[in-house]
Amino acid sequence: MAPHEGLTGATTPPDALLRLEHLHAGYGRKQVVHDLDLHVSSGEVVTLLGHNGSGKTTTIKTVLGLFPALGGRVLYDGHDVTRAGFRANVKAGMALIPSERFVFPDLTVIENLLLGGAREKDGGQRRERLERVYDLFPILRERSTQAAGTMSGGQQRMLSLGLLMMAGPRLLMLDEPSLGLAPAIVQQIFDRVRKLATDEGLAVLLLEQNVGQALRVTDRAYVMRSGRIILEETADEMRQRDSFWDLF
């Protein structure tokens, strides 16, 4: 497939929470992402598909402000945050779960969750968020006094998601949440991510190689190869493909 073949994202909804315009990004002197356009709206799950090394992680770390943009713009809620920095973006409602396990292993489950909500001054709001997390992941209520580091990989992934939900994010970015997990656990986590977008109105940007699981819950998908977006399709359009080998 030639670069940019099949792209359908020429128009961006005016209410998109996140917009990337001609983004160039990398780390050190190495440019990894080239001229990338992408958008995510509130209540929408958007998946960025691609192999390791395609530039997916660099993209979201640049969005969050961990890596500097080398060109182009990051727009969040209508504001240019290209150079806003990590702390400002997190305060504004961005959240990222990295591919490695993201919990505080020596703290209990409840201590992790309360730490996630520490910035929220309203005690009633914290309690409401905690109940929503427990409703999403009942196992966390059952294991509330267990040290996070002694939980299974899947349970730690659930806790990492609950920890960030305690902060009340508006944009949730997940880097390879299926990595190293059993298929049944992956399905459960993806279903909860879909529920968060639908019920809570979160904008979700999901980075994945597990095409089948991702397409179950996503609205649109971008395919990234060698630092460039080569395809954008709706999930329905992508599910009709006989094979994905030609994309990767």
Tally of domains in the chain:
2
Domain that holds residue 24: 1-93+170-248
C-alpha dist (Å) from residue 22 to 73, 95, 126, 134, 224? 7, 22, 38, 40, 14
159 and 175, same domain (yes or no): no
pLDDT in tens, the chain (248 residues): 334 444 544 467 778 999 999 999 998 889 999 999 999 999 999 999 998 889 999 999 999 999 999 999 999 999 999 999 999 999 999 999 998 878 999 999 999 999 999 988 889 999 999 999 999 999 999 999 999 999 999 999 999 999 999 999 999 999 999 888 899 999 999 999 999 999 999 999 999 988 888 999 999 999 999 999 999 999 999 988 876 656 66
Contact 244, 47 (CB under 8 A): no
Same domain for 87 and 188, yes or no, is yes
pTM of the model: 0.90
**CA-closest candidate to residue 209, choices 49, 57, 96, 97:** 49
In the DSSP assignment, the letter for residue 8 is: -
Q: Are residues 4 and 115 in the same domain?
A: no
136 in the same domain as 63 = no
User: In this structure, are 87 and 180 located in the same domain?
Assistant: yes
Query: Residues 142, 118, 69, 82: is their CA dihedral positive or negative?
Result: positive
Give pLDDT, residue 8: 44
Asked whether 18 and 192 are in contact (CB, 8 A), the reply is: no
Pairing of strands 45-49, 220-225: parallel
**DSSP-derived 3-state class of residue 11:** coil
Q: Are residues 17 and 49 in the same domain?
A: yes
